[in-house]
Amino acid sequence: MTARGEQVRWDIISIIGLALGLAAILVGQALEGGHLGSLLQLTAFLIVIGGTLGAVMLQSPLRVFLDGLSMARWVFKPPQVATEQVLNQLLEWSHQARRGGLLALESQIEALDDLFQRRGLQMLVDGAEPEVLRETLELELSSYEHHHQESAKIWLAAGGYAPTIGIIGAVMGLIHVMENLSDPSKLGSGIAVAFVATIYGVGSANLIFLPISNKLKALVTRQVRTKEMYVEGLVSIANGENPRMIEAKLQGYLL
């Protein structure tokens, strides 16, 4: 259950992981005697990032693309999934319903921020049949999971396109080199773009895009599992099951 005004916690391991990955490359470059500035090539950056962004936009519906970009913040500030808190709230509701009936839960609806939770509790209070309650919420949950998993996949797509576009940048740099063989002063910049574009493509894919995709998919899965527990708990309350039996059933979601 999400409390109003709850502060979102930073995901420290994501911050450390990204910093460690970038630091390993930069420190390695310095230890080899290279200059850090040699890795900064605006042309290569524009080719790889711009080309990757365009390819992802081409394959994605607008809403999926925008939601995927918006979800990227979850990597560092993930939505809180208080599974144990949800379990405790469901058990409290089961005791209240057992003592005062389902209408005793009506006062709890406005305290919920999550629309999915509010809709489910409202249906329970309104006396929806258990199977109708389950079917309605599971349909909404399925749509939620599908949309968010598809949104997370735009980062997976970016991880697939970036290395290839990096190779395109490398070939473009080599073409520039071949066109200026008679002018040695221009050879260095062309070769730099060629190699740095490859680094940008492979590095962004494996240090940023693919890890973000996998992290987002894991976060969506965790959210869905908590929502599944919520649905199971509401249906159990609607069936009038004993609170101890409900607790035993829902404990499996905490593993």
* pLDDT for the residue numbered 4: 40
Please check whether residue 18 lies inside any domain of the structure: no
Please check whether residue 111 lies inside any domain of the structure: yes
Total domain count for the chain?
1
Per-residue pLDDT for 2 more than 80? no
How would DSSP label each residue in the chain? -PPTTPPPPP-HHHHHHHHHHHHHHHHHHHHTT--GGGG--HHHHIIIIIHHHHHHHHHS-HHHHHHHHHHGGGGTSPPP--HHHHHHHHHHHHHHHHHH-GGGGGGGGGG---HHHHHHHHHHHTT--HHHHHHHHHHHHHHHHHHHHHHHHHHHHHHHHHHHHHHHHHHHHHHHHHHTTT-GGGHHHHHHHHHHHHHHHHHHIIIIIHHHHHHHHHHHHHHHHHHHHHHHHHHHHHTT--HHHHHHHHGGGG-
Least confident range from 25-34, 85-94, 99-108, 194-203: namely 25-34
Per-residue pLDDT for 103 more than 80? yes
Reported as a single tens digit per residue, the pLDDT across 41-77 is 888 899 999 999 999 999 999 999 999 999 999 999 9
For residue 206, the enclosing domain spans 42-254
Average pLDDT over residues 1-6: 41
Please check whether residue 30 lies inside any domain of the structure: no
Please check whether residue 115 lies inside any domain of the structure: yes
252 pLDDT band, cuts 50/70/90, is confident
Reported as a single tens digit per residue, the pLDDT across 221-248 is 999 999 999 999 999 999 999 999 999 9
Reported as a single tens digit per residue, the pLDDT across 187-211 is 666 677 778 899 999 999 999 999 9
Please check whether residue 16 lies inside any domain of the structure: no
32 pLDDT band, cuts 50/70/90, is confident
Please check whether residue 5 lies inside any domain of the structure: no
134 pLDDT band, cuts 50/70/90, is very high
